[in-house]
Amino acid sequence: MDTVSQASPPAETYQARVDDKGRLKLNADFQRYLKELGETQVYITTKDAKTVRIYPLSLWRKNEAAFNRASEVDPEATEETNLVMKHFGGYSDVDGSGRILIPDRLRKHLQMEDTAVWLQFYDGAINAMGDAQYQHKLAAALERLTANVNKLQHLGLK
């Protein structure tokens, strides 16, 4: 069985802060999740140039394998996505206080220096987004909530 699916992911959205040195302190639930996975290192990047994506190292390795497979199907999309994710990406150790260092290029591009961010578990990793981006996404999701719930109920949402 997949290690990521065996750990209990955080179920809430949390507010945190990127300090003036670019460190993000993960709250206790995210620290526990990484500890359950046995992860002491993460890969931090973006998939959309708007949101920080914090991958447990084991999940990032699966992405690297997916890039290798995808290069045979769509080499251009694979190369461009890989370029962006590695341009902004970098490894970070989780320190004893549960802090990780957001890569400098990514932090500057997303203007996430000495600012509040929102953390949310999604699809095996942790998303971090600035307050403006989070509020924009939340407002859009609230507008479509009824329609989205109706769609998902057909797929088994209770």
Q: Read off the pLDDT of residues 52-74 as tens digits, 9 standing for 90 and up.
A: 999 999 999 999 999 889 888 99
Q: Please provide the distance, in angstroms rounded to a whole number, between the alpha carbons at the two ends of the chain.
A: 26
Q: Read off the pLDDT of residues 9-36 as tens digits, 9 standing for 90 and up.
A: 999 999 999 999 999 999 999 999 999 9
pLDDT at site 5? 56
46 by Cβ neighbours in 10 Å (0-12 / 13-18 / 19+) ranks as: buried
Q: Where are the alpha helices (DSSP H) in 74-144?
A: 75-88, 104-109, 131-143
Would the pLDDT of 2 be above 80? Answer: no
- Domain residue spans of the chain: 3-131
47 by Cβ neighbours in 10 Å (0-12 / 13-18 / 19+) ranks as: middle
Distance CA 14, CA 120 (A): 7
Distance CA 51, CA 130 (A): 8
Assign 6 a pLDDT band (cuts: 50, 70, 90).
confident
Homologous superfamily (CATH) for 3-131: Transcriptional regulator MraZ domain (3.40.1550.20)
Distance CA 10, CA 13 (A): 8
